[in-house]
Amino acid sequence: LYNRVQMKTIKAVGYARVSTLLGQDVENQLSGIRDLASHREYLYLHSYIDQGVSGKREKRPGLDSLVRDAKLGKFSIIIVHSIDRLGRSTKHLLNLMDELRHYGVSLISIRENLDFSSPVGQMALTMLASVAQLEAQLISERIKTSLAVKKKLASDHGTNWKCGR
């Protein structure tokens, strides 16, 4: 009984992010986050959400609010669906994790299933952050290539297609 009561005193929050609103539902991430918190018998307090915000941006309303609350000691665990939901820049992710660790906050990632506070977890975090950054760069490259092809096709067919504002 003591251990069960002790687990319920561990305060956890969730963070979810979708970069586009086209066909992405943040609830897909949140349901798994809440399930994990319930399974581990954490006291789940709140979900911080960023919708329609790129992971390349360091400043995001939901993430900024999460960091402020972490600094105030409102919780000790953050649960995310995957590490790339926190960000797609290696430098940003490592700095964010260092800041959260300073506040006494640990991160649990459902997809990676690692303890990021251990030495092995830190090494894995660095590798995963690099992969997330690579993925963001590849996405950007594919979009630029696709837009260039569309522009060329429009030019070849004499249409007045333009991209952007």
Instruction: Kindly state the average pLDDT of the residues 28-45.
Output: 95
Instruction: Point out the catalytic residue in the list 19, 47, 106, 109.
Output: 19
- CA distance linking residue 97 with residue 103, whole number of Å: 10
Active site residue 82: no
- Token digits of residue 144: 């630029």
Which pLDDT does position 117 carry in this prediction? Answer: 65
Q: Cα dihedral angle (97, 100, 106, 107), rounded to 10 degrees?
A: -50
Instruction: Kindly state the average pLDDT of the residues 67-84.
Output: 95
Instruction: Kindly state the average pLDDT of the residues 133-147.
Output: 76
Q: What does the pLDDT look like over 99-118, one tens digit per residue?
A: 998 999 999 999 988 767 66
Which pLDDT does position 151 carry in this prediction? Answer: 78
Query: How many H-runs (helices) and E-runs (strands) does the chain carry?
Result: 5, 4
Which pLDDT does position 9 carry in this prediction? Answer: 87
pLDDT mean across residues, the chain: 84
Report pTM: 0.72
Which pLDDT does position 146 carry in this prediction? Answer: 77
Phi/psi at 25 (5° precision): -120, 120
